[in-house]
Amino acid sequence: MWNFQPSVNLVKGGAGYVGGPTMAVIADHCPNLQITVDDSNRDNIKQWNSPSIKNLPFFETGLEEIILRVRNKNLYFSSNVNETIINSDMIFLCVNTSKKNKGFGVGQASDLKWVESCARQVSSYSKGHTFVIEKSTLPVRTAESIKTILNSSNLVEKNHKTFSVLSNPEFLSEGPAINDFNKPDRVLIGVEEKKPIEALENIILKWIPNQKIIKTNLWSIELSKLTANAFLAQRISSINSIAEFCKSTGGNMGEVVNAIGTDQRIGADFLSACLGFRGSCFKKDISNLVCLSIHFVLSEVAEYWNCVIKLNEWQKLRISKLIVHNLFGTLRGKSITILGFAFKANTNDTIQSAAIDISKNLLEEGANLIIHDPKVSEDQIFSELAIKLRKLKNIQDSNTYKGAGIKENNLNKSFVNVYEILILTEWGIYKKINWKTVEKIIRKRCWFFDIRSIVDLKEIKNTNLNFWKIGDGIIKS
For residue 278, the minimal CB distance to ligand UGA (Å) is 4
Length of the chain in terms of residues written = 477
Q: Is 85 helix (H, G, I), strand (E, B) or coil?
A: helix
Contact flags string 77-116 toward ligand UGA, x per CB under 6 A? ----------------------------------------
Does position 374 interact with ligand UGA (CB under 6 A)? The reply is no
Sheet arrangement for strand 129-134: 75-78, 35-38, 7-9, 90-93, 129-134, 162-167, 187-191, 213-216
Q: Nearer Cβ to ligand UGA, position 89 or 373?
A: 373
Does position 402 interact with ligand UGA (CB under 6 A)? The reply is no
| Catalytic choice (118, 134, 161, 170) | 170
Q: Nearer Cβ to ligand UGA, position 190 or 366?
A: 190
Q: Which of 126, 272, 315, 414 forms a contact with ligand UGA (CB under 6 A)?
A: 272
Q: Which of 156, 197, 205, 232 forms a contact with ligand UGA (CB under 6 A)?
A: 232
Q: Phi/psi of residue 348, each to 5°?
A: -100, 15
The reply to whether 118 belongs to the active site is no
Does position 227 interact with ligand UGA (CB under 6 A)? The reply is no
Does position 174 interact with ligand UGA (CB under 6 A)? The reply is yes
Does position 137 interact with ligand UGA (CB under 6 A)? The reply is yes
**Is 317 in contact with 275 (CB distance < 8 Å)?**
no
**Is 91 in contact with 98 (CB distance < 8 Å)?**
no
Per DSSP, the residues of 235-278 read HHHHHHHHHHHHTTTT--HHHHHHHHHTSTTT-STT----S---
The reply to whether 281 belongs to the active site is yes
Residue 209 Cα distances to 2, 212, 221, 276, angstroms:
21, 6, 19, 35
Q: Nearer Cβ to ligand UGA, position 49 or 238?
A: 238
Per DSSP, the residues of 159-206 read TT-EEEEEE------SSSHHHHHHS-S-EEEEESSSHHHHHHHHHHTT
Q: Nearer Cβ to ligand UGA, position 343 or 468?
A: 343
Does position 305 interact with ligand UGA (CB under 6 A)? The reply is no
Cα separation, 99 vs 138, in Å, equals: 11
CB neighbour class for 173 (10 Å; exposed up to 12, middle 13-18, buried from 19): middle
Q: Name residues contacting ligand UGA, limited to 430-469 (CB under 6 A).
A: none
Torsion of CA 198, 199, 201, 207, to 10 degrees: 140
Stretch that binds ligand UGA, among 171-179, 192-200, 201-209, 309-317 (CB under 6 A): 171-179
Contact flags string 242-261 toward ligand UGA, x per CB under 6 A? --------------------
For residue 137, the minimal CB distance to ligand UGA (Å) is 5
Q: Nearer Cβ to ligand UGA, position 59 or 343?
A: 343
Stretch that binds ligand UGA, among 69-77, 104-112, 172-180, 455-463 (CB under 6 A): 172-180
Does position 278 interact with ligand UGA (CB under 6 A)? The reply is yes
**Which residues on neighbouring strands pair with residue 134, listed in sequence order?**
93, 167
Half-sphere exposure of 12 (CA within 13 A, CB side): 9
The reply to whether 225 belongs to the active site is yes
Q: Nearer Cβ to ligand UGA, position 40 or 229?
A: 229
Q: Which of 230, 281, 309, 369 forms a contact with ligand UGA (CB under 6 A)?
A: 281
> Rounded to a whole number, what is the distance in angstroms from the first to the last CA of the chain?
71
**Is 460 in contact with 444 (CB distance < 8 Å)?**
no
For residue 277, the minimal CB distance to ligand UGA (Å) is 4
Does position 71 interact with ligand UGA (CB under 6 A)? The reply is no
Does position 172 interact with ligand UGA (CB under 6 A)? The reply is yes
28: nearest Cα among 20, 18, 16, 17: 20
For residue 50, the minimal CB distance to ligand UGA (Å) is 24
Residue 128 Cα distances to 38, 89, 155, 167, 463, angstroms:
20, 8, 11, 20, 71
The continuous run of DSSP H or E covering 311 comes out as: helix 299-325
Q: Nearer Cβ to ligand UGA, position 171 or 219?
A: 171
| Interface contacts to ligand UGA, rule CB under 6 A | 137, 170-174, 229, 232, 236, 270-272, 274, 277-279, 281-282, 343-344
Catalytic residues: 170, 225, 281
